[in-house]
Amino acid sequence: MGSVQIVTTILAAAITAVAVWLAVRAVMKMVAVIRLGQPAPERFTDKGTRTRTMLVETAGHTRMLRWGVVGAAHWFVMVGFIVLSLLVLEAYFEVVSPTGGLPLIGGLAVYGLVTELIAVLGTVGILVLIAIRLRNRPTRPGGRSRFTGSTMWQGYFVEAVVLAVLIMGFVIRGFKVATDHFEYPVWATPVSHAVGALLPDWSAGVSIAAFIKIAISMTWLIVIALNVTMGVAWHRFLAFFNIFFKREPARPAGSGLGPLRPMMSDGKPLDFEEADPEKDQFGVAQVEQFSWKGLLDFSTCTECGRCQSQCPAWNTGKPLSPKLLILSLRDHAYAKAPYLLAGGGKDLTGEEKATQAQLAHLDVLALAEADKPLIGTAEEGGVIDPDVLWSCTTCGACVEQCPVDIEHVDHIVDMRRYQVLIESSFPSEAGVMLRNLENKGNPWGAPQNTREDWTKGLDFEVPRVGEVDDFEYLFWVGCAGAFEDRAKKTTRAVATLLNEAGVKFAILGEGETCSGDPARRIGNEFVFQMLAQQNVETLNEAFEGREKRNRKIVATCPHCFNTLGNEYGQLGGEFEVVHHTQLLAHLVGTGKLTPVQPVDGGVTYHDPCYLGRHNRVFAAPREVLGDAIQGELTEMPRNSERSFCCGAGGARMWMEEKIGKRINVDRVEEAMATGARTVAVGCPFCSTMLNDGVNGKGAGEQVEVVDVASVLLRSVKPDVAPGDKETAPVAG
């Protein structure tokens, strides 16, 4: 060992020892913070599926690849990081000896080839990512960036380190080539040989370059160890765990979509019959009341901003960005952690748990952080502004796009639950809706005895459950479908089509009450459970004696469809629920309904969030429309998984939209830009919002917003279409 190698070896050992010590300390700190969260035993079930999903999502980059070039570039960088860690290890042998290499595999041509290839692709990948970050930098003139609010220096630092480490790999190999100590053939390592041709015959260069590579890698480790909230770096380790512990590992995408989680206290679903707010946790009022998976979510965020770029609230000038919400919760959790780890915290009655002695030596910043209300305005020093919390439509675009499976919607609803149930703090205009739900069983407060009014004037009888036993489908009409004028047309269209196709169906009539979706999404789990339990009892009675596969329900409202199909199971109601577009697609496909007259004028389709993203029903409505128009749909730029919300979900239907541009107007402008005369929808709330948007733009004469069922009815029975064809653009 020469003097150069002695120095490089000592320096490499020293910086590595410091970096490893700091990294171990950082991991212990991170684990301690995550463990502050509430138990979540359900995250440990079904480990086989979890492992499979984690491997498929990470190795296949299933979310990232939807972003084309970025996804591919990130894949090469990720694989490069894993495989080229071997080259960092190899550098430790090279600081000791210029001829050093990895034992066993070092020297094998295949090892030389694979590492060379991945280093080249990784270099291209990181250059692409750097270019994309620069092109989308928040300070660029014009436009909103998905990186707005991200800690940009951290992103640039991580990318610069990756690039430097890759380049140093070629320099080390180049010096080995130049000093004739390189054992790999030119065909396997052409770039290294090309670099070697430019370098002098200097054997100390190998050890010095290897030391520089180690120093860069260890500096990276030291920086991230000193910044435990640096998700852009830590996600390389945490993403595997976050994906493994996602809440529904069997769902191929959007695992945090579909059903909401029940309200949990101490890791168990809360039973309102026995719940006590002084003993049980009602939603989330303190950051440590999130589950440990919530705290892992916050730690894993890479600050990539994909969620932000898709969020309807953010895109229309509201203060909510799902990314910034997660980052605020993360920063608060880590800043408050010293206080919590010292034994601090409030019990459920609001009393301090720690003794004065426990808090005596605590950092004042941690104590100040502990005093911040989780929900509060800037003046109150709140972590999350109420306008942020109430801007969410629960559309799920953030969850759908997040590459590391963060469950934003659950966290938002958990915070809403505390605000509504304990603080009675929510936008006042929504109070009418909640009162109507409690007193009348529907958000409009319409009399229950008018639930069947939509059947009047139909030229066939609509049977009720109890009057007939041999129905195949229970037609769940929903409150909008029963009381709201536009939605009633859809209800009549569906009933007419089912009757035409010979489907045996029956309704509950006055036995039906609101599914509870708006109460649950606003955070009033108590009212949700009250309504849901009543419905589950009614439905169980209606289907008495039938197996689950024969307990078929068809619903026209995606919110009812989602709640009955995905959430009633939490209360003992197991049903096979389909959306009417699915049933209609089946009836057309099997020849029971025959479209005869093409609907023309151009049709575009707006995917309702709770049908599309939350439940992955994208094809059926398009099939029905394709059959009805006997041609191609005109798609909006944002469609299917990337569809843009109408603005009504998350109980936003019953709140005023006072900040920014109206979401429905943004969507209507996109729909109108397609030139289609018909905007087809599959949800009564979308119908209301988009109709309002069209009318607000004074375009009611040119553009019609109408349900898929009504479009089909015009094609199947152009002479009937009860009450629906006043403005129908029908070919003729």
Question: Tokens 């009409």 identify what position?
Answer: 477
Ranges within 273-302 binding ligand SF4 (CB under 6 A) = 301-302
By the 10 Å C-beta count (0-12 exposed, 13-18 middle, 19+ buried), 496 is classed as: buried
Which span sits near ligand SF4 by CB under 6 A: 10-18, 319-327, 623-631, 699-707? 319-327
Give whichever of 229 and 582 is closer to ligand SF4, judged by the CB atom: 229
Give whichever of 168 and 232 is closer to ligand SF4, judged by the CB atom: 232
Q: Could you give the angle at the alpha carbon of 138 between the alpha carbons of 135 and 142, nearest 5°?
A: 80
Give the separation between CA 354 and CA 345, rounded to whole angstroms: 7
- Give the residue, chosen from 26, 295, 406, 501, that forms a contact with ligand SF4 under the rule CB under 6 A: 406
Q: By CB under 6 A, tell whether 397 contacts ligand SF4.
A: yes
Give the separation between CA 647 and CA 645, rounded to whole angstroms: 5
By the 10 Å C-beta count (0-12 exposed, 13-18 middle, 19+ buried), 706 is classed as: buried
Helix (H) or strand (E) holding 220: helix 204-226
Contact 287, 336 (CB under 8 A): yes
- Give the residue, chosen from 102, 214, 257, 398, that forms a contact with ligand SF4 under the rule CB under 6 A: 398
Which span sits near ligand SF4 by CB under 6 A: 40-48, 389-397, 482-490, 539-547? 389-397
Q: By CB under 6 A, tell whether 394 contacts ligand SF4.
A: yes
Site string for ligand SF4, 339-378 (x = CB under 6 A): ----------------------------------------
Q: Report the half-sphere exposure of 25 (CA within 13 A, side-chain side).
A: 13
Q: By CB under 6 A, tell whether 402 contacts ligand SF4.
A: yes
Q: By CB under 6 A, tell whether 320 contacts ligand SF4.
A: yes
State the minimum distance, in angstroms, from the CB of residue 655 to ligand SF4.
13
- Give the residue, chosen from 98, 112, 305, 382, that forms a contact with ligand SF4 under the rule CB under 6 A: 305
- Give the residue, chosen from 77, 171, 172, 311, that forms a contact with ligand SF4 under the rule CB under 6 A: 311
Q: By CB under 6 A, tell whether 254 contacts ligand SF4.
A: no
**Dihedral through CA 582, CA 588, CA 594, CA 595, nearest 10?**
50
> Alpha carbon of 23 to those of 35, 164, 211, 492: distances in Å?
18, 21, 19, 64
By the 10 Å C-beta count (0-12 exposed, 13-18 middle, 19+ buried), 195 is classed as: buried
Site string for ligand SF4, 407-436 (x = CB under 6 A): -xx---------------------------
Beta strands 678-681 and 704-707 are: parallel
Q: Report how many residues bind ligand SF4 under the rule CB under 6 A.
A: 29
- Give the residue, chosen from 215, 313, 497, 585, that forms a contact with ligand SF4 under the rule CB under 6 A: 313
- Give the residue, chosen from 123, 299, 401, 491, that forms a contact with ligand SF4 under the rule CB under 6 A: 401
- Give the residue, chosen from 74, 261, 293, 323, that forms a contact with ligand SF4 under the rule CB under 6 A: 323
Give the separation between CA 341 and CA 335, rounded to whole angstroms: 11
Q: By CB under 6 A, tell whether 304 contacts ligand SF4.
A: yes
User: 488: left (phi > 0), else alpha (psi -120 to 50), else beta?
Assistant: alpha
Give the separation between CA 480 and CA 610, rounded to whole angstroms: 15
State the minimum distance, in angstroms, from the CB of residue 181 to ligand SF4.
43
Q: By CB under 6 A, tell whether 148 contacts ligand SF4.
A: no
Q: By CB under 6 A, tell whether 259 contacts ligand SF4.
A: no
Question: Tokens 């999130």 identify what position?
Answer: 290
Q: By CB under 6 A, tell whether 306 contacts ligand SF4.
A: yes
- Binding positions for ligand SF4, rule: CB under 6 A: 301-307, 310-313, 320, 322-323, 326, 392-398, 401-404, 406, 408-409
